[in-house]
A and B are shown apart, each in its own frame.
Chain A
Amino acid sequence: MAEDQQSKRFCSEKVGDGLINNLPDELICHILSFLLTKDACKTSVLSKRWKSLYTMAPNLHFELQNKKENNFVNAIFCRRTQNIKKLKIHRLKYSQTDHSNFDLWILKALDLDVMELDLKLVKYNGNIILPHKLFRSESLVVLKLGSPFKFQTLLSSFRPYLPSLKILHITLCIVSVLDIKDFIPLYELIYGCPHLEELGLEQYIGLDFLRFSLPFLKRLCLNYTEPLKPSTGYSEIIKFIKEKENLHKSQLLPFRSLHYLWIGITQYCNMDLIIRVLQKTPTLKVLVVQEKV
């Protein structure tokens, strides 16, 4: 304890005399953790002291634009021995051939006890398969899947279990009646997060999750901004959901700790849904309803 204080008591008498070099490694790494990994690794060139500082920055953040950058990300992960606190990968476009790398990156992060995972692949047109190991992580506290991931690969015999997970944000992709199969593994997933405090669902059109008691859930965000395309299968989807809900009506449990509810609506969304959510949130303190035109 005394030693800690000692290392903090340095004298910065001369202004502009390499001030940043007076900072302990931890603090420099904290600064680097706010940068994209691309910028952070450039600091290795600054001086001998900085050569490996960036490898100890707790967060990795990649904004990827094309396949060429794969090698760069591979190199970063190969070198990484320090545990990762937060991994954020946002990608403009994802194609099938990129898949093998993506899997490996996530697996490596899981090996390094990653606590926060933020994945977003924009303009996506296929099937992203997430490693099963992800859904059994004991270290994960925050999971944000910002693009539509299909959950069909979560086998019925495989039980997701994320004991440390407090925040979960998922985007679904419902374009056809076949996609309803995704709901089942989704329930399994939510059921496997017993300590969940915040849940965000994008493009979710059913209420089945209400039958799970999420005793610690404090914040709920439901976003219906993308209208369900009134095409073939639309009415089947609605019918399927209504049937499921009638089946489980008696099992709908209220959220006992929920104090914050955010709902994004459009002209297409089903107001019944919203009313039923409100009926199940007796402890609500803050309600935000946002309309997207």
Chain B
Amino acid sequence: MAEEKSQASSSKMLTLKASDGVLFEVELNIAKEMKTVQAYIDDCEDIETIPIPNVLGKHLAIVIEYIKKTNEEYDAEFEKQWNMDDLQLLLLAANYLNISGLQECLCKAIAKRIENKSPEYVRKVFNIENDHSPEEEAKLRKEYKWAFEGVDKD
């Protein structure tokens, strides 16, 4: 399927402009995998440059490469290259651009990284502020006592 995409008859090119001004020229059929972009094109047919205000050039490049190359093998290796921050930013990008395949791949990857980890670890990697009262937290921990057994060391 990846090969089909690049050989498609559509030779029309589209420019995507990332939040930091970086420009990407992509084929129409690649851009259409981003449903948000598709909606944009549907609304104004003559558009040549589409602004993507929420995604940095660095991440848009990764997203475009994913769309071009995606297959089972690529997906398996894809997520290993990125740190947690990048994974989260890529997920935000995939969500904004509405690319379901990439979203699925990234959700799976993030889940894998927090599997069997302690809440302290998860708070750290996700940068979540703990606003539970100590009593509330103690109560929840007691309720799920079994689940907290055998957790990986941080």
Contacts and interface: CB of A to CB of B under 8 A. Distances in A.
A and B bind = yes
Interface of A: 5, 8-12, 15-24, 27, 30-36, 38-39, 41-48, 50-51, 68-69, 71-72, 75
Contacts of A35: 111, 114-115
B119 A12 contact: no
Given A15-B85, A46-B128, A27 B140 contact: no
Contact of A39 (B104, B114, B126): B114
Interface stretch (B9-17, B25-33, B63-71, B130-138): B130-138
Given A8-B98, A23-B95, A38-B147, A47 B131 contact: yes
B140 A39 contact: no
B60 to A, nearest CB: 13
Nearest to A48: B131
Contacts of A47: 123, 128-132
Contact of A19 (B88, B96, B112, B140): B88
A9 B53 CA distance: 9
B8 interface: no
B95 A8 contact: yes
Interface string B105-119: 001101110111101
A34 to B, nearest CB: 4
A42 B95 contact: no
A137 B38 CA distance: 38
B74 interface: no
Contacts of A23: 91-92, 95
A20 to B, nearest CB: 4
B89 interface: yes
12 contacts: A10-B92, A12-B92, A19-B85, A19-B126, A19-B127, A21-B128, A23-B95, A35-B111, A35-B115, A43-B119, A45-B141, A47-B128
> What are the nearest 4 A-B pairs in CB distance?
A34-B111, A20-B126, A19-B88, A18-B127
Contacts, number: 113
Contacts of A9: 53-54, 96
Interface of B is mostly: helix
Contact of A17 (B95, B108, B127, B130): B127
A41 B147 contact: yes
Contacts of B127: 16-21
Given A34-B112, A47-B128, A48-B131, A15 B89 contact: yes
A27 B147 contact: no
B108 A51 contact: no
B122 interface: yes
A81 B95 CA distance: 27
B88 A20 contact: yes
B85 A18 contact: no
A263 B95 CA distance: 40
B107 A39 contact: no
Contacts of A68: 146
Contact of B36 (A8, A16, A41): A8
Contacts of A16: 85, 127
Nearest to B149: A38
Contacts of B98: 8
Contacts of B82: none
A21 B96 CA distance: 15
